[in-house]
Structure 1
Amino acid sequence: MQIYRFLTGDDDSAFCHKVTKALSEGWVLQGSPTYAYDPTSKKMRCGQAVTRVVADQPYDPDKKLIDYR
């Protein structure tokens, strides 16, 4: 089974660390990153989709994605 996450954050080092942490946990970059201006916060925001293949099992929307093995 393949699981999906979309990481978002301000355009700063914390966002880069968030993506790097996901990669270190076995997540793989999926597609190109996004970059857009948020007029409410008046900041640039980043987004990156990541996926990970886990053992076949029933999908449970109440289960945290990090708990899939």
Structure 2
Amino acid sequence: MSTPPDGLPIYRVLTGPDDAVFCHRVSEAIALGYELHEGPAVTFNGERVIVAQAVVWPAQS
């Protein structure tokens, strides 16, 4: 597939608390065919750890 399904963009940043829900969202993106773009960004908002992970659709050669 040369483009992401369901009209999704080729570049996405997934964000949220560092929990199982966030991990499932990243896992679902990978299962669709996205690839991780470098490592995650992590911060603490005073209450919980917040994570951001960029994913990209692989370029077709």
- TM-score normalised by the chain length of structure 1: 0.67
Structure with the higher fraction of residues in helix conformation: 2
CA distance in 1, matches of 2:59, 2:32: 12
In structure 2, stretches of 5+ residues that fail to align are 4-8
Query: What TM-score, normalized to structure 2?
Result: 0.75
Larger of the two Rg values belongs to structure: 1
- Report the aligned-residue RMSD: 2.2
| Runs ≥4 residues deviating over 4 A | none
Bigger share in strand = 1
Aligned-residue sequence identity (percent) comes to: 36
Gaps of 5+ in 1: 56-69
